Chain A
Amino acid sequence: MAMIKVENLVKTYQVIQKESGLFGYFKNLVKPKYKEFDAVKGINFSIEEGELVGYIGENGAGKSTTIKMLTGLLTPTSGEVIVNNLKPYKSRIENNKNIGAVFGQKTQLWWDLPVIESFRLIKKMYKIPEGEYRKNLKKFTEILELDELLEKQVKNLSLGQKMRCEIAAAFLHNPKIVYLDEPTIGLDVFVKENIRKFIKEINKEKNVTVILTTHDLKDIEDVCDRIILLDKGQIIYDGSKQKFKDTYGKYVIAEFTVKDKNLNINDNIRIDEIEILEETENQLKLKFKHEETTIVKVMEQISNYCKIEDIHMKEAELEDILKEIYKGAHKC
């Protein structure tokens, strides 16, 4: 039985269309003209218990709208959402007991009070048994390094400290599903790593399902097994992270440091199977596919025009692949 099942989900917003001029203003007051805007256009997916899913897409792709429908904050225009055998938009409060959520910068901690007070309130609200609460708190404190934070007032915490507490708060009641909407936005590398480690560990231990939306693809790379890629309200990829890379990213990016370049390669010469991404006086950034050529052949070709001093190679990362996909998507 799938934990989350989404079928032909559509969400259409009605936006009041503004008309210009004084006349238009009054006309709008009396009889506003609505324009329909499809934020989510009939998506399907199902997520099993314990999956770590990266839900990605550009700004305005419909990610937040989907999350809001999954949590029952929005009613679908058509289609069906079933979360843990419940329809969240019909039985929101029942559904709330099984989920945890972190929405970007909107805090659920009590601003003027020590962090631990907010945790205690959560314990009471969700009726977490004392033993379970202590166990979780101990574990979370350990991984997220909350020791010194618990007695501090929330307003005195830094962004990273606050977010760590926020994440702990979302997992405290052993939810079946946790929605993390941009949990690492604006955080430094160490905090990000800390949070990723936490998500992975808790997932392994409690088999909690995590839906993660983020613009930092390192998060996805590190945490998620599965990617759902959304573009303009439609799913354009849904499958494992590895398959995603294999399908779209079977290429290598190589950066050459060169000397004595006799002409501008990009403008003058077309080398087979190699795409030149960037070119400066002594830098060359190339892209080529594994199956079409090898690094040795590439070097041979390049050395016709310049002297190679240094090479730096890397496998295509998610970010590169995504850029490609978006470029492609925007062309058509």
Chain B
Amino acid sequence: MLKTMLALAKMQFNQYNIYKSNFYLWTLNRIIEVIVYIFVWQAIYNQTGDAGGFTINQLVTYYILTVSIRPIALFSINSDIAYSIRNGKINKELLNPISYFQYCFGVNLGEMAFALVIGIATFVICSVFWTIILPANLTSFILFLIVIMLGIPLTFFIEVIVGTVGFYSSSIWGMEILKDAIISIFSGIIAPIALFPMWFQKIANILPFKDLIYTPINIWLGQVPTNEIIFVILKQLIWTIILYVIAKIFFNYSIKKITINGG
């Protein structure tokens, strides 16, 4: 099963990798984003001399890392699923000898791997132009990686839930925008969560999105005590299970409905 999924991931990765211009343009895009974020924050910092307790160096590192690992949180396999439903390609995919869930997860992994390679390229290029704070020690780097990895299935299940809406509506574009907006705010992609008001932070603490981006970066920066990280991982696992159950039930129910009522 795992082998099949990895084979699928490889296929999807290669499919993206065929177009070299894809790679360069995406990387360039990311770097421009980093530049914009950093300029804005430098302007704020120069005016006020403060940015929510962050030093300018920390903020630069924060945004470079955010842009690099963002594919973990923001993904668009939901539109692949919805598209496949709409044009009937799903009929072919449902005839694979593995479940559609596993099929999508494999494809999703490949796509994410490609986006992360671009992330690494972005990071390396940015490190030439700006001073990036490196992880405090090897442990925090490994914990950073673990927390990121745990985010992958979590995001995948959210994607499946949004994509499954495609069974009911032929346009899920609006849903996707909403999902992206919610994740962008609550995961800390737009700004570090510590800068938001207290009530917002409380909500963000409950939701799973914060641990996709904000928490791992803070682990990298050495801002999270090691004993707290255990709780972060536990919270991620609980959310993964909850979202898995929701995605599975919703998806299977929808598939059944389709096979009963016809496409």
Binding stretch for chain B, among A66-74, A212-220, A233-241: A66-74
Q: Are A103 and B92 in contact, CB atoms less than 8 angstroms apart?
A: yes
Q: Are B8 and A121 in contact, CB atoms less than 8 angstroms apart?
A: yes
Q: Are B95 and A96 in contact, CB atoms less than 8 angstroms apart?
A: yes
Does A13 have its Cβ within 8 Å of any Cβ on chain B?
yes
Q: Are A117 and B97 in contact, CB atoms less than 8 angstroms apart?
A: no
CB of A80 to closest CB in B, whole Å: 16
| A-B CB pair tally, cutoff 8 Å | 68
Closest to A100 in B: B95
Most A-side CB within 10 Å, residue of B8, B14, B99, B259: B259
Does A290 have its Cβ within 8 Å of any Cβ on chain B?
no
Q: Are A13 and B262 in contact, CB atoms less than 8 angstroms apart?
A: yes
Contact of B15 among A65, A106, A111, A120 (CB under 8 A): A111
Closest to B262 in A: A13
Q: Are B91 and A73 in contact, CB atoms less than 8 angstroms apart?
A: yes
Does B52 have its Cβ within 8 Å of any Cβ on chain A?
no
A residues less than 8 Å from B21 (CB atoms): none
Q: Which of A145-180 contact B (CB under 8 A)?
A: 153
- B1-24: CB near A (< 8 Å → 1, else 0) gives 001100110010011001100000
Q: Are B11 and A121 in contact, CB atoms less than 8 angstroms apart?
A: yes
Contact of A106 among B8, B89, B256, B259 (CB under 8 A): B89
- A67-103: CB near B (< 8 Å → 1, else 0) gives 0100111110000000000000100110011010101
Q: Are B15 and A112 in contact, CB atoms less than 8 angstroms apart?
A: yes
With A112-B18, A113-B11, A125-B7 as contacts: A89 and B259 at CB distance below 8 Å: yes
CB of B263 to closest CB in A, whole Å: 8
- A47-80: CB near B (< 8 Å → 1, else 0) gives 0000000000000000001001001111100000
Q: Are A125 and B97 in contact, CB atoms less than 8 angstroms apart?
A: yes
Contact of A73 among B3, B19, B94, B97 (CB under 8 A): B94
B residues less than 8 Å from A264 (CB atoms): none
**How far is it, in angstroms, between the C-alpha of A121 and the C-alpha of B8 when the chains are bound?**
7
Does B98 have its Cβ within 8 Å of any Cβ on chain A?
yes
B residues less than 8 Å from A121 (CB atoms): 7-8, 11
A residues less than 8 Å from B259 (CB atoms): 72-75, 89
Q: Which of B13-41 contact A (CB under 8 A)?
A: 14-15, 18-19
Q: Are A93 and B97 in contact, CB atoms less than 8 angstroms apart?
A: yes
Does B177 have its Cβ within 8 Å of any Cβ on chain A?
no
A residues less than 8 Å from B92 (CB atoms): 101, 103, 106-108
**How far is it, in angstroms, between the C-alpha of A124 and the C-alpha of B3 when the chains are bound?**
8
Does A301 have its Cβ within 8 Å of any Cβ on chain B?
no
Q: Are B11 and A106 in contact, CB atoms less than 8 angstroms apart?
A: no
**How far is it, in angstroms, between the C-alpha of A92 and the C-alpha of B94 when the chains are bound?**
8
CB of B113 to closest CB in A, whole Å: 16
B residues less than 8 Å from A110 (CB atoms): 11, 15
Does B261 have its Cβ within 8 Å of any Cβ on chain A?
yes
- B64-89: CB near A (< 8 Å → 1, else 0) gives 00000000000000000000000011
Does B260 have its Cβ within 8 Å of any Cβ on chain A?
yes
Q: Are B11 and A117 in contact, CB atoms less than 8 angstroms apart?
A: yes
CB of A216 to closest CB in B, whole Å: 22
B residues less than 8 Å from A89 (CB atoms): 259
Q: Are A96 and B261 in contact, CB atoms less than 8 angstroms apart?
A: no
CB of B147 to closest CB in A, whole Å: 31
Contact of B261 among A13, A107, A117, A120 (CB under 8 A): A13
Contact of A14 among B4, B256, B261 (CB under 8 A): B261
Closest to A111 in B: B15
Does B96 have its Cβ within 8 Å of any Cβ on chain A?
yes
CB of B255 to closest CB in A, whole Å: 9
Q: Are A124 and B7 in contact, CB atoms less than 8 angstroms apart?
A: yes
Q: Are A125 and B18 in contact, CB atoms less than 8 angstroms apart?
A: no
Q: Are A125 and B96 in contact, CB atoms less than 8 angstroms apart?
A: yes
Does A126 have its Cβ within 8 Å of any Cβ on chain B?
yes
Closest to B8 in A: A121
- B228-263: CB near A (< 8 Å → 1, else 0) gives 000000000000000000000000000010011110
**How far is it, in angstroms, between the C-alpha of A75 and the C-alpha of B262 when the chains are bound?**
9
CB of A129 to closest CB in B, whole Å: 14
| 22 pairs, A vs B, C-beta closer than 8 Å | A11-B262, A13-B261, A73-B94, A73-B95, A73-B259, A74-B259, A74-B262, A93-B99, A96-B96, A97-B97, A99-B95, A107-B92, A108-B92, A112-B18, A112-B19, A113-B18, A120-B7, A124-B3, A124-B4, A125-B4, A125-B7, A125-B98
* With A72-B94, A113-B15 already in contact, 12 other A-B pairs whose C-beta atoms are closer than 8 Å: A68-B91, A72-B259, A73-B95, A74-B260, A99-B95, A106-B92, A110-B15, A120-B7, A124-B4, A125-B4, A125-B8, A153-B18
